[in-house]
Structure 1
Amino acid sequence: MRNKVAFITASPMTVKAFLIPFITELAKRYEIHVISSWQGNESFLPEGVKMVDFPIKREPSIFDDLLSLVQLIRILKAEKYDIVHSFTPKAGFIGQIASFLSGVKLRFHTFTGQVWATQTGLTRFFLKSLDKITAFLATSVLVDSPSQESFLIENKVVLPCKSQVLGQGSISGVNLSKFQYSQEKSDKIRSKLQLSGDEFVFLYAGRLKIDKGVPELLTAFKNVAKKIPAVLVIVGADEDGLLPEVNKTEGAIFCGFSDDISAYFSAADLLCLPSHREGFGNVVIEAAACGLPTLASRIYGLSDAIVDNETGILHQVKDAKDIEFKMLSLCQNKPQLEMMSERALQRVYSEFSEHVIVEEFIKFYELQERKLPK
């Protein structure tokens, strides 16, 4: 009889974006259920994998969260899972408590960045405490970058003996058949955006949020655009009401959300990711697979995704002047940009392919499975 595994996430989009390769491979060996807020979403899961609807809200709510906890305990006790694996902070906190109380033998959680890393005072203490509880109740913890693991150990959130990083990091690696340079896609995007071909194309790909460093990027770009022909293409949803500022920035082009971000990677000259916090920054290695180097903040996670001055450039966090200086220096040094493009591509193929990370994930499960009673 095959062992029974439950993946728990707050949103099905986490599953779709990162977990399908793992689920597909694990389903060959285990009975897999995916517990999430499906709420009428159509299944995109591999054949034979069961959807289990579990309403959970992203926003904190003591009453709603207690109801979610009780409902999850019922699900776990009824299904009698051998392994539960949680992702995302809230699903991890509720999922690990429910798994522990339900007597699940193997309880895994994956950390992909800490909301509290940029917080202070009581907010930091409270959110950090939730992560500590999650890590304490889990029997094993995966972390998606070496520097993030060091950060969690230094902050006494996880124990070295309970945590590990798969390969060189990243939550799921890069699908190299999906992310690759395309001249055809590049031409199509440049035509759509009415670019002449003379401009240097900076790209920001991600949610428009203050803690993603978008305000500093806009400030830096305004000064860069005064000195050279350049555009800043922004792809992603506006979550912090930053669109009015984007629209006021000459040369900035807002494109909204895209299902084919690789097309924008192909059309750009440099990816900019000035985040204040980041788990690993999968977008960096996805861009690298398309031959696009990255200018990003010198923070944990991103310092693993980028080899400074080789596959990209790191700048001081929240420092618009440093961002501006490095944007200009890269615009004016085409040989360096080409060198970084080649090395970024080589590194993705050798260290961050989806195949490599999935293989490490399966090894982790096989090793942990030995702890289950026969």
Structure 2
Amino acid sequence: MERKPHLFKDMISLGRLWKFLAKNDFDLIVYSTPKALLIASLAKCLNVKRSKSVAIVQGRVYENFPELKKKAFMALDKVSFTLSDKVVFVSNSLQENYFRENIVNSRASKVIGSGSFNGVNESVFHSVNLENKESLRVKYGFSKSEFLICIIGRICIDKGIEDVYKIARKINNNIKFVFVGSFEDERSKYKVKCIVKEERGYYIPYLKEIHEIFQCSDLHLFLSHREGFGNVAIEAASCGVPTFAYDVTGVKDSVKNGISGQRFDFKDTKAIARAIDEAAKSTDFSSKYPNARSWAVENFEQKKVWQNYLEFYLNQIQDER
């Protein structure tokens, strides 16, 4: 099943999933991702066997679509939610958006715990001392003296790469960016290449030890235009690294203003550039957010998040019986 809509291929996926569900007995069917919500809920509805179903909503790809196109996708979500027994949102702000637009009601939906779908592994994502931080910078070829900003994840327009490019041209030369992730469009690839070529940043296509990039960074920049939750921000917080981000859906829940970082008005790149310059000049920026890790671990520790979901799933099965 492809990520983007494709009518013919999606119909084939629907048929195959319907057959699979018809041949097997499940106590509970759980589905997520925008396309899977629709296809799985339809397949489950068309099936004679009436298994309990849960839709996990991790974001809205249509958040910034033109109004008419957005309404069409909202209607499809409403179909998916109506056909599901329970709808789980990964953040409160995401759920509130659906409430406000009357796509789902409060009785059929919930947020589990404080949000997130996977939480953060505190034993992997942890802070390091200055000596280890400098060792990591040597390992990856970063300067020990520069103010390092990490940008982690898919690199595309919706993740704010054009906004990062604008900021990079406004701040002083001792501030460097490190991008880790794959490109999703040529425009974004060009922007990052320009930043690297101008010696304002570094690019790493893939890295298994992503926690080490957080640990050797001074700041995490997260200018996504839309998120379901934004797990990368709690990973940064768990490493003791603050996040500067837009005050948008999903990110409102994964960046605690003044605790794990700072949220800015959407598209206010001037304010963000000023804040970054001030942070780079500050002698005590590294100690400005002392409670970032404790907040992240208290609310999103991975095993606790997993346990909350497990208990929820088991309760759904017991209610069915």
Q: Is the aligned partner of 1:135 residue 2:81?
A: yes
Please show how residues 134-153 of structure 1 align to structure 2 within 5 Å.
134-153=80-99
- Residue of structure 1 equivalent to 2:175: 230
CA deviation map 1:130-166 (0-9, x unaligned): 2111111110011011111111111122211111111
1:293-345 per-residue CA deviation (whole Å, 9 max, x = no partner) reads: 100110121111111122100112122212212212322334354131x2110
Q: Which residue of 2 aligns with 1:367?
A: 315
Shift of the 185–61 alpha-carbon distance from structure 1 to 2, 3 Å rule, reads: farther
- Paired residue total: 315
Q: Shift of residue 223 of structure 1?
A: 1.2
> Which position in structure 1 is the counterpart of 2:304?
356
Residue of structure 1 equivalent to 2:276: 327
Unaligned 5+ runs, structure 1: 1-55
The residue aligned with 1:297 is 246
RCO higher in structure (CA 8 A, sep ≥6): 2
Distance change in 2, residues 1:371/1:178 (3 Å): same
1:142 and 1:165 in contact (8 A); partners too: yes
Q: Paired residue for 1:87, among 32, 42, 66?
A: 32
Q: Is the 8 A contact 2:138 2:144 kept in 1?
A: no
- The 1-side partners of 2:108 and 2:283 are apart by 45
Contact 2:242/2:260 (8 A) holds in 1: yes
AA matched with 1:90: K
8 Å contact 1:181–1:262 — kept in the other structure?
Answer: no
> Any stretches of 5+ residues in structure 2 without a counterpart?
none
Q: 1:193 to 1:363 in 2, by over 3 A?
A: closer
TM-score, normalising length: structure 2: 0.93
2:162 is aligned with 1:244: no
Deviation at 1:192, TM superposition (A): 4.1
Cα distance between partner residues in 2 of 1:344 and 1:310: 5
CA distance in 1, matches of 2:193, 2:135: 23
Match status 1:113 vs 2:65? no
AA matched with 1:200 = F
Give, in whole Å, the separation in 1 of the partners of 2:141 and 2:259: 31
Structure 1 Cα separation of the partners of residues 314 and 56 of structure 2: 17
User: 1:1-374 maps to which residues of 2 (within 5 A)?
Assistant: 56-102=1-47, 103-182=49-128, 186-226=133-173, 229-241=174-186, 242-249=188-195, 250=198, 251-340=200-289, 342-373=290-321
Residue 57 of structure 1 deviates from its aligned partner by: 1.9
1:225 aligns to what SS in structure 2?
A: coil
8 Å Cα contact 2:175-2:280 kept in structure 1 = no
Superimposed CA distance per residue, residues 31-73 of structure 1 (whole angstroms, 9 cap, x where no aligned partner): xxxxxxxxxxxxxxxxxxxxxxxxx222212111111111111
- Kindly indicate whether the alpha-carbon contact (under 8 Å) linking 2:259 and 2:295 is maintained by their aligned counterparts in 1: no
Higher mean C-alpha displacement, 177-186 vs 344-353: 177-186
Aligned residues of 2:219 and 2:244 also touching (Cα < 8 A): yes
Does the residue aligned with 1:174 lie in a helix, a strand or coil? coil
Post-superposition shift, 1:113? 0.9
Are 2:167 and 2:272, in contact at CA under 8 Å, matched by a contact in 1? yes
Is the CA contact (8 Å cut-off) linking 1:225 and 1:231 kept in structure 2?
no
- Amino acid across the alignment from 1:178: V
Cα RMSD (Å): 1.7
With 312-321 and 135-144 compared, the bigger mean Cα shift is at 312-321
